[in-house]
Structure 1
Amino acid sequence: SALAFALIEAVTGVSIRRNLSTVIVAHIAFSISFVVVVVRTSLKNFDRRLEEAAQDLGADGWQTFWRITFPLILPGIVGGALLAFTLSLDDFIISLFLSGPGTSLLPVEVYNKVRRAVTPEINAISTLMLILSMSLVGLSQLIQRRR
């Protein structure tokens, strides 16, 4: 992603301002393929006859989607979102190369603080990140069990 922005600048001569928008675009470009694979697997295992049955019983397209399709593929969507979040949080390099001045991102801040010394602040941030990640995994498991 960072290489793509550098290539665009080199070929076109257009300078791209590095800020939060460039980081978001790069993380989306990096994570989208992983999300597509997870959601596609969920859709592949989906029984299309359920949609046909709902439409035979009088449901329109939106009702069929929100009442039948979406609840059945929700675990795949949540799994893809969790995977994208984890990859985005872990990919320090994209955040470092594409964040501009004045843009403060958690992975870059943790890296900068750890370079100096491991402080109680870093320990607290790491603990919060671990708790957040474990909570999201627990939420994913809860959603899958409800299915």
Structure 2
Amino acid sequence: MIGKRAYLDLEGDIPNKKILDSGKKMGRTQSEYNEVTHFNIKRKNKMKYISVPTNQEAMARLDLDQCIMGDLIEFTLNKVDYAALWSTGVIDEINEKLNVSIDDYEDERITGIEKLTEAKRIVESKKALNKSNDIIIDNLLLQINSAIENNTGVFFFF
């Protein structure tokens, strides 16, 4: 490849030239080139995950982004579930009490038996106050209980 323009267009070509209405070819300006090669593809309905490794080895693989089938117990949240989870206030309280930052575009974890036990206490107390979101709270509680049982952690991929 000659030159410094190495990005491809949607057809897989290096779009150095454009075709005018008259059929003639003409070089592109840098801004025109950037426009046809730099894509901001938004993920539709991006899902959020609350994951629990099934053992210490699975947790190590998760840190390296090398999980294999059976490594994770995952709870997937769509937009509605995610909004319902936030509306309970449980995430805000976990963030405050455990000094973590579970939030949009953040990956966060709760590990260690003390923090997991405190997270469980927080979720159980919120469950008593939020009857309308029982399924969401129950699933979060299941994840925390699994992490305690497996001596691993709860990983939030939001």
- What TM-score results when the alignment is normalised by the length of structure 2? 0.25
Q: Going by fraction, where is strand more abundant, 1 or 2?
A: 2
In terms of Rg, which structure is larger? 2
- Please, what TM-score do these two structures have when normalized by structure 1? 0.26
Q: Which has the higher helix share?
A: 1
